[in-house]
Amino acid sequence: MTASPHADQRSVQPVRPDEGRGPGRPKDLAKRVAILEAAKRLFVAQGFDGVSMDQIAAGAGVSKLTVYSHFGDKHTLFGEAISSKCREQMPDALFASPAPGTCHEQLAQIARAFFGMITSPEALAIHRMMTAPGTEPRLRELFWNAGPERVQAAFAAYLQRCADEGQLAIDDVPRAASQFFALLKGEMHMMMMCGVCRGPGPDDVDAHIAATVDLFVRGYAVHR
């Protein structure tokens, strides 16, 4: 029995431009960025469970297959969206090796970036999502690994270089990194999380950051 000469033609389906990439081909970085931007907007606005991959694909202007091709599943996309947002506001360059005599100034820059990040409406919304009853443990772990853990590890590496260069005297670097961020959160962040206040004014932020950095530097000062 011979096959119909038109059988192959009937079975061939048109391929969309963004679906024709095999697993070994380089992915379109512009599409990846668009997907991350859409995911960040939607996760903040609607929560993790309230967002579908179809919505993210539509928001990014790509097919759902393209979203899966770049990120595999929604949990992975959530983690990458958190990581992307953190790197936007606290880029790796912020933690570059300290220059001699500028440790205090660089700590102030890091402090300002961190405080601005955690008090942004997007960050507050995600924090509330993570602390809401019923949030799955896997999601909380993804958030922690992609956000707080990455930032604290980068800052700890910076503090270690400060200590190695004799600018600070720190025996327990991870603990010092945790203390710095805990001091920065302080009462202001908790009040914003609870909805008690909308946010501090610029002068209050300046005073808070200056006091925090001064306290930290004095606590880990090198006594010659």
For 65-119, what is each residue's pLDDT tens digit? 999 999 999 999 999 999 999 999 999 899 988 776 678 999 999 999 999 999 9
Does residue 11 belong to any structural domain of this protein? Answer: no
d(CA 173, CA 181): 13
Q: What is the pLDDT of residue 100?
A: 67
Please name the amino acid found at residue 146.
A
CA–CA dist 58, 50 (Å, integer): 15
**208/99 same-domain check:** yes
Local structure of residue 122 (DSSP, 8 states): H
Residue 9 lies in a domain: no
Mean pLDDT of 120-138: 92
Residue 8 lies in a domain: no
Average pLDDT value for residue range 44-59: 95
pTM of the complete model: 0.81
138 & 210 share domain: yes
Residue written as tokens 């005073």? 207
C-alpha gyration radius of the chain: 23
C-alpha torsion 220→91→75→64, nearest 10: 180
* Domain assignment of residue 47, yes or no: yes
